[in-house]
Each structure stands twice: as structure tokens, then as C-alpha cells.
Amino acid sequence: MVIGLVLLMATIQARRSGQSNVILDGVAFVAGGVSSGGRDVIDWADRMKRSLTSGSEILIDRDRLAAENGQLKLQIERLSKIEADYINYREILGLPKVENDRPVVADVKFWYPSLESASVSIDNTGQKILRNSTIRTTKGLIGKVVIAGPLFAKVRLIQDRDSHVGVKVLRSGTFVGTGILDGQGSNKEPLLHYVRPELMLAPGDQIVTSGEGGVFRSDIPVGVIRSTTLAPGGIERTAVVAPYAENPVTIRTVIALPPQSGADTFEEKR
């Protein structure tokens, strides 16, 4: 009876004072000297110590997660401020407007291959995807939306004969030059045109979008140069480009990036 009362009072005092381990160690010492039955009390004290310690660890984890959550909120606020400033500066400089929308993930529904054309239809339920949206996979660019309907959006792939994409050539991340990537048909790899003849293109050079023209966002991976040739008369260099993206026949999901507005595209001028 006395021991039980002592235990109860010790528990209350341990929880109130925050000195749980010291008080419970004292209880265990006293219990050990009272009788052989004090061993049960010692076990109880040990269990209480572990329980209280575990509770303290949970509180520490809670405080740590709260601090990390606060840091993430600050990072999001900073990134939002940077994005807003970027859009504002583009407007001041008269550059094409960047729509402040989020990318949309869509499923590929149909594939339309032919000798010259190459296109797919993607799910557009709710008209989330607009005309001139840039379409890519996680690996690289595949094309742009040419028709946007209430249920489906038709994507012209970069292999299509009517596809023309402004691109940059990079070598180990260093800018080499610019050109236009033209489609050659669904069964052929795109061809890089309009590159100055003095630029020594080489197999392995990386191709990314230039961002010029108002449709395709800049610096989207496109492919890698497979081979190069000097056009007749030495007026330009051309190169066959192997796309980074998967074979269009095997693509099941794509990412739609909202279009930039305020500028005509190279394709529409042709």
C-alpha cells in the first residue's frame, strides 16, 4: 500500500517536474532496499523511464518537423517572389509573356504515323491544354499542340515534316551556335539546318530549345547530334539529331507546358 502510494506520487512528480529519470531512479533505489518485492517496482520504474523518454523523443521530432515545415514555407515564398519578379521583368523588357500556369500531365490516346507526318492525340478533358503548348516527356521534347479540343489535343511531333523548332547547340554545356530542327517524317530522325558552316558540329553535341519564336520554352532537352555534313556549296552545316525522348509509339504519358504568348512562331511565319 505504501509502495503503491509512493509510486503514484513519484509518477505525478516526474510528469510535473520534468526530472523524470532522476525521480524514477530514486524510486528504484528505495524499492530495492525495502524488500525482495522491490524488484517489481524497479522494473516498473524502468518501464516508466522508457515511456517518458519515448514521449520526449516524439515531442522533439514534432518540434523538428514544425521547424522544417516553416523553412519550406519560407523557401516557397522566396521562389514565388522570384517567379513574380521574373515575369515582371520580362514585361518591362517587352519579351514574350510567360503564362503563370502549371504544367499538366496527360495520357496519350492515339498515334497517327505516316511517311511524312507524325502526331499523337492526348487527353484534354476540361480544356486544360491550350494550342501551342509545349509537349515533352521526362527525357525531352516531343512536339507542340496544334489543335486543342474539349476532349483531345493533337500534338505535332518533332519528327513531322511540318515541325520546325528553334534550337541551340551545346558542347559539354557550352554554347556553340543556333539552328532550326526540321522534321523528316515519322520513320526518320529530325535534321538540324541553318547552322553557320564555320561551326564545327560534332557527334555527341547536345541540342536544346532556344526559346525563340514564342512557343517552345527555352533549354528543354531535345536530342544529341548523331552525324554531321557540310551542305553543297559550303553554305551551311546540317546534322542528324537523335531525340532524347522515347519512340513516340511507346509514349504513354506526356507533360504539357503552357504556351508563351505575344510572338509569332517561326513555323507560322513560313
Burial (CB count within 10 angstroms: exposed 0-12, middle 13-18, buried 19+), residue 78: exposed
Return the CATH number at 252: 2.40.10.350
Within the chain, where are the H helices? 2-17, 20-34, 38-93, 266-269
- CA separation for the pair 255, 203 (Å, rounded): 28
Same domain, yes or no: 57 and 115: no
Q: What is the pLDDT of residue 263?
A: 38
From first to last of its 270 residues, the chain has per-residue pLDDT tens of: 444 544 445 554 555 454 555 455 554 555 554 444 556 666 666 666 666 666 666 777 777 777 777 776 776 677 667 767 766 766 777 665 655 567 888 899 888 767 667 888 999 887 678 899 999 999 999 999 999 988 999 999 999 999 999 999 999 889 989 999 999 988 889 999 888 888 888 999 999 999 887 788 889 999 999 999 887 777 888 899 999 998 888 888 999 988 875 434 444 444
Residue 267 included in any domain: no
Same domain, yes or no: 147 and 15: no
- CA separation for the pair 124, 127 (Å, rounded): 5
Same domain, yes or no: 89 and 113: no
Same domain, yes or no: 89 and 106: no
Q: What is the pLDDT of residue 97?
A: 60
* Structural domain range at position 76: 1-95
C-alpha cell at 100: 503563370
Q: Are 207 and 160 in contact (CB under 8 A)?
A: no
Domain boundary among 95, 116, 148: 95
Same domain, yes or no: 80 and 124: no
Same domain, yes or no: 126 and 69: no
Same domain, yes or no: 135 and 82: no
Same domain, yes or no: 127 and 170: yes
Domain boundary among 38, 61, 95: 95
Overall pTM surpassing 0.85 (yes/no): no
Same domain, yes or no: 208 and 221: yes
Q: What is the pLDDT of residue 101?
A: 60
Per the structure, the count of domains in the chain is: 2
Residue 268 included in any domain: no
Same domain, yes or no: 130 and 245: yes
265 secondary structure, DSSP code = -
Domain boundary among 95, 122, 152: 95
Q: What is the pLDDT of residue 48?
A: 67
Residue 150 included in any domain: yes
Q: What is the DSSP string of 202-235?
A: -TT-EEEE--TTSSSPTT-EEEEEEEEEEPGGGS
